[in-house]
Amino acid sequence: MTPVRVYGGKAGTNPESGSPLLAGLLAAIGIIVAWVGLVYVTHHPVGIAAWGVGGLLGIVVAKAAKPPTKATGALAAGLTLVTALLAKVVVVVVALQPMMRQELANDPAALIMVFLLEKTEQKSFSRDLQATINARPDLVADTTFFGPGHELRTQMIDEVAAAAKASSFDERKRLVHKHYDRFLDKLGFGVLLLATFGLLDLLWIGLGMSTAWTLGQGRI
């Protein structure tokens, strides 16, 4: 008798599908890097990018899913929210703070305030002016527009403006970094992060999540 051969499994099985989560995470990392680079180059928060993020993540997740479902749509929407929030954090740390320091170092009005803080802290005004400041704190505290207090403030600002104008860019950067970081420490990172969100940012993120939800299910 001829032996009967039994084969396990089925021929031509479909290859194992990819991971929508992994594909989405990899895409999210690339998007965050590109977003931060765009902000750094344009000096603009480009909040509308969140809408495009939703579209890209929806397509990537749907392509990796076999087949795409409501679960993959929810995954794409969740990844869109997380990506937008992480991008905001990275933008503040990597792009926004260095840009603000650079802009302050080139802003005459901001430099006057920075040098005024530095000279007041170090008591480094010219000898006669510093002696008057030390002897007459009441004049320094005088905020009237006329009188001895106004005259003293005018002398202080004139001296500070001259020092700022004569300073090197490296010196300006150092002082801006010093006083800006001190202000930021008092303000708190969370406050600065929240300040980068506006109503339009929430709108773009919402539209991005909606788009990701739709495209993540394979629907166009």
Per-residue pLDDT tens for 105-115?
Answer: 778 888 888 89
Say yes or no: 121 and 65 in one domain.
Answer: no
Say yes or no: 184 and 118 in one domain.
Answer: yes
φ, ψ of residue 141 to 5 degrees: the values are -80, -10
Say yes or no: 33 and 58 in one domain.
Answer: yes
Tell me how far apart the alpha carbons of residues 202 and 184 are, in angstroms, rounded to a whole number.
24
Which domain, by its residues, includes 26?
20-93+196-215
Residue 33 in any domain: the answer is yes
Per-residue pLDDT tens for 126-170?
Answer: 999 999 889 888 888 877 777 777 888 889 999 999 998 888 888
Per-residue pLDDT tens for 34-68?
Answer: 988 888 777 777 788 889 999 999 999 999 998 89
State pTM to two decimals.
0.62
DSSP string, 67-94: S--HHHHHHHHHHHHHHHHHHHHHIIII
Q: Please list, residue by residue across 147-176, b when 16 or more beta carbons sit within 10 angstroms of its beta carbon and e when fewer do.
A: eebeebbebbeebbbebbeebeeeebbebb
Please count the structural domains in the chain. Answer: 2
Say yes or no: 135 and 201 in one domain.
Answer: no
Say yes or no: 55 and 27 in one domain.
Answer: yes
Say yes or no: 112 and 179 in one domain.
Answer: yes
φ, ψ of residue 22 to 5 degrees: the values are -65, -45
Question: What confidence category does residue 99 fall into, taking pLDDT thresholds of 50, 70 and 90?
Answer: confident
**pLDDT value at position 18?**
66
Say yes or no: 117 and 185 in one domain.
Answer: yes
Say yes or no: 185 and 163 in one domain.
Answer: yes
Say yes or no: 200 and 185 in one domain.
Answer: no
Rg (CA), the chain: 29
φ, ψ of residue 147 to 5 degrees: the values are 100, -175
